Amino acid sequence: MTTTHPAAQVPDRLFDDPEAERRWRARFTAHRVSLPDWALEAPDRCLYVSNASGVWEIYAWDRSTDTHRQVTDRPNGTSHATVSPDGEQIWWFNDTDGDEFGSWVVEPYGGLPSGSTAQPAVPGVHDGYPAGLQLGLKVTAVGASTDDGTTIWVARGGPAEVVYTSEHDGGVSALSRDETLLAISHSEHGDSRHPALRVITVDGAETVAEKWDGEGKGLDAIAFCPVAGDSRLLVSHERRGREELLIWDVRADTETELVIDLPGEVSADWYTDGRALLIAHTHQSRNTLHRYDLDTHTLSTLHTPNGTIGSAGTRPDGTVEYSWSNASRPSVVRALFTDGTDRVLLEPPGEKAPHSEPLTDAFVPTTGGEVHALVARPADAPEGPLPTVFAIHGGPHAADEDRFSAYRAVWLDAGFAVVHVNYRGSTGYGSVWRDAIEGRPGLTELEDIAAVQDWAVASGLADPARCVINGASWGGYLSLLALGVQPERWAAGVAGVPVADYVSAYEDEMEPLRAFDRALFGGSPQDLPELYEQCSPLTYVDQVRAPVIVLAGENDPRCPIRQIDNYLDRLAERGAPYEVYRYEAGHGSLVVAETIKQTAIEVDFTRRVLG
C-alpha cells in the first residue's frame, strides 16, 4: 500500500559477529511444536501446530506408525484445528490472510485426494469470527460472531439448525459425552468479561439449567465429564476473588465447590476415567501440575521441571503430557508416566534453539498493590545501569510468565535489560487485580509501569535516559499511551498492532472486542465519550517527544488499520520522529521470516534512535 509515512528501515543484520547473528535467528527458525491434541476414541490420531515449514501450520501425527503429515499450507499460516472423536476427520478454520473471519472446513485424517481441497464442514453456517466448536460422533455444535452478535448452530448429520442467537457476545463451551447436552457461555447481562452459563438440550434446544454468579463474577465451562451419561460439568469460578473450580451436575442442578489448598489460581481438566482432575496451578508467573482425586478429595503433586506449563492433558492410560519451557530453555513437549518417569515426548528434527538468560523476580509496592515484574539481564553485562526495554504484554487479561522467548533473547543479545510488568489487569493475581482497570483502562496500567520503571532506575538496573516502552496489541496500546502521558520517562517507543485511536478502533474492530470494550469501560464511546477520549493515545499524541515505531497488519480485525493511520497522520502533522512498518496479515504473523523481519526492524530502530 502506498503511504506518505516514513517507512521503517529493514537491516540486513543486527550483529557484526556472525555467530551472534546466527544465534538470534536460530531461536526463531528452530522447529517447534505445540502439545498434540488427540481423537477421543482414536487416541493414536493426533494434531499439533508447528513452524517446521517456516509458517505455523497444522500437522497430523499417527502414533501407531509414528508418521507426521503437514495438513495445511497457506501463505499466512493456520493455527486453529481439531480432530473428530473417531479420528477420521480434521477440522481447521479457514480465514483470509489472518483476518480471523471465515468458516470451518474439513478433510480426511489421512489426507486429501490429489487436486482436491478441504470442504465446508457444516452446511448452513455463515462465515464469522469463531465462537466455539464442539465435535461429537453424531453431533456438531459451532458458534460464530458477526456485527449482529452471536449465533450457535447444531448439526446432526444434515444442515445446521440455529439453537441460539443473541446480540451479546457468547459461544459454544462444552458438549456432553453422550451428545445430549450443550453448555453455552453468554453475556446477556451485558458483561462479556464475566460470562454466565446456560445448558440446553441438543435435541430441541430446551434450557436444562442456568448459572450466573452475579455482577463481576464470571463462569467458564471447561468440559463435561468424559464418561457417557455423566452430566457433571467442570466449571471455573471466581466467587472468592480468584480462579477456582466447581463441579456442576447440570441434570440435578447441584454443585460441589472444590477447595484446592494452593496459593494463586488454578485451572483443570478431567482425567479420561472421570475420577480425577488434572490441576494446573499458577503462582507468581510459574506453574505446577497436580492430580486431584474426586473420591478421596486428595491432592498430589506431579513432579515437573521449574518453569511454565503451556498446556497439559491426560491420555487414556493416565499419562500426563505437557508443553514446558522456562526463560533460559526452549519449549519442549514432555510426558509424565504413571510410574513417575518423565521424558521428552515429541521433539522436532533439526537444530535446537540456543538457550537464553533466566528471569528473576521483583515485587514493587505501589498505592494500587504490589506489582510483580520479571527481569532479565544480558550475559556478561557491564557494571552500571543498562539500556532497558520495558516489554509490556498484551491482553490485557494475560500475564508474562517464566517461559522461553526468542523475542526477549534478541534484546538481551543486543545489550538491553528486559523488564516484564504484570500490571493491574493481568491474570494470575486474583480477580480484584485483573478487574482493577475497569472504568479507567490504560491509565491504571501506566501507573504500575511507572512504579516498576522507578524501581528499575533506583536499583541501578535501568539507565533513565535509555528506557524503551515496548509492546504489541494491548501492550502496543499502552506503549503509545505511555509516550503521550509520560513523555519524560521514555527515550523510544515500539508499538506493534496497537490501539491508537480508541473511538475509531471501536467502530472498526470485531464485535467480540466491542463487547469487551463496553464491559471494560462501562459502555460504548457514545455512552462515555469523555472516558474513551481520556484513555485514547490519540488524545496525547501532541505530547509525544520520543521517536516511535509502529507495526501494523493491513487485515487486523482487533486493532484495525484506519485508527492507526489516524494516529500516524497526527504525528506527521507535527513533524514528530517516527517510522512505520505495514504487512499483509492480521493481528501478528504466523510466518517465521516475517517475525524475524519485524524483530530486526524493532531492534535496529531502537538502537539507531538511542545512538
Is the separation of the CB atoms in 218 and 169 below 8 Å? no
Whether residue 3 is predicted with pLDDT greater than 60 in this model: the reply is: no
Name the amino acid, one letter, at 248.
W
How many C-beta atoms lie closer than 10 Å to residue 203's C-beta? 12
> For residue 550, what pLDDT is reported?
98
Q: Please provide the average confidence, as pLDDT, over all residues in the chain.
A: 97
Q: What is the mean pLDDT of residues 306-321?
A: 96
Cβ-count burial of 454 within 10 angstroms (0-12 exposed, 13-18 middle, 19+ buried)?
middle
pLDDT per position as a tens digit, 171-188: 999 999 999 999 999 999
Residues 571, 610, 597, 325: is their CA dihedral positive or negative? negative
> For residue 157, what pLDDT is reported?
84
pLDDT per position as a tens digit, 505-539: 999 999 999 999 999 999 999 999 999 999 999 99
| Gap between the Cα atoms of 395 and 509, Å rounded | 15
DSSP code, position 33 = B
> For residue 348, what pLDDT is reported?
86
| DSSP 3-state of 535 | coil
Torsion of CA 166, 169, 174, 179, to 10 degrees: 20
The phi, psi pair for 524, rounded to 5°, reads: -90, 170
pLDDT per position as a tens digit, 572-582: 999 999 999 99
| Gap between the Cα atoms of 106 and 98, Å rounded | 19
Is the separation of the CB atoms in 146 and 157 below 8 Å? no
Buried b (16+ CB within 10 A) or exposed e, 207-222: ebbebbeeeebbbbbb
Concatenated DSSP letters of 343-402: EEEE--SSPPPPP----EEEEEEETTEEEEEEEE--TTPPSS-EEEEEEE-SSSS----S
pLDDT per position as a tens digit, 116-126: 999 999 999 99
Whether residue 403 is predicted with pLDDT greater than 70 in this model: the reply is: yes
> For residue 321, what pLDDT is reported?
98
Task: Please calculate the CA angle 59-400-391 and round it to the nearest 5 degrees.
Answer: 105
Concatenated DSSP letters of 194-253: S-EEEEEETTT--EEEEE---TT---EEEEE-SSTT--EEEEEE-TTSS-EEEEEETTTT
Q: What is the mean pLDDT of residues 331-352?
A: 94
pLDDT band at 150 (very low <50, low <70, confident <90, very high): very high
Whether residue 58 is predicted with pLDDT greater than 70 in this model: the reply is: yes
pLDDT per position as a tens digit, 474-511: 999 999 999 999 999 999 999 999 999 999 999 999 99
What residues are paired with 289 via a beta bridge? Answer: 280, 302
Whole-model pTM? 0.97
| Gap between the Cα atoms of 277 and 259, Å rounded | 13
pLDDT band at 1 (very low <50, low <70, confident <90, very high): very low
Residues 403, 408, 410, 415: is their CA dihedral positive or negative? negative
Q: What is the mean pLDDT of residues 97-108?
A: 97
Concatenated DSSP letters of 437-499: TTTSTTHHHHHHHHHHHHHHHHTTSEEEEEEEEEEETHHHHHHHHHHHHSTTT-SEEEEES--
Q: What is the mean pLDDT of residues 441-461?
A: 98
Name the amino acid, one letter, at 459.
S
Name the amino acid, one letter, at 526.
Q
Percent of the chain surpassing pLDDT 90: 98
Q: What is the mean pLDDT of residues 564-590?
A: 97
**What residue has cell string 490420531?**
45
Residues 505, 511, 512, 515: is their CA dihedral positive or negative? positive
Q: What is the mean pLDDT of residues 546-556?
A: 97
Is the separation of the CB atoms in 122 and 107 below 8 Å? no
Whether residue 2 is predicted with pLDDT greater than 60 in this model: the reply is: no
Is the separation of the CB atoms in 48 and 35 below 8 Å? yes
Whether residue 193 is predicted with pLDDT greater than 50 in this model: the reply is: yes
Whether residue 376 is predicted with pLDDT greater than 80 in this model: the reply is: yes
Whether residue 4 is predicted with pLDDT greater than 90 in this model: the reply is: no
Q: What is the mean pLDDT of residues 337-344?
A: 95
Percent of the chain surpassing pLDDT 70: 100
**Closest-CA residue to 177 (of 220, 114, 233):** 233
Q: What is the mean pLDDT of residues 449-468?
A: 98
What residues are paired with 371 via a beta bridge? Answer: 364
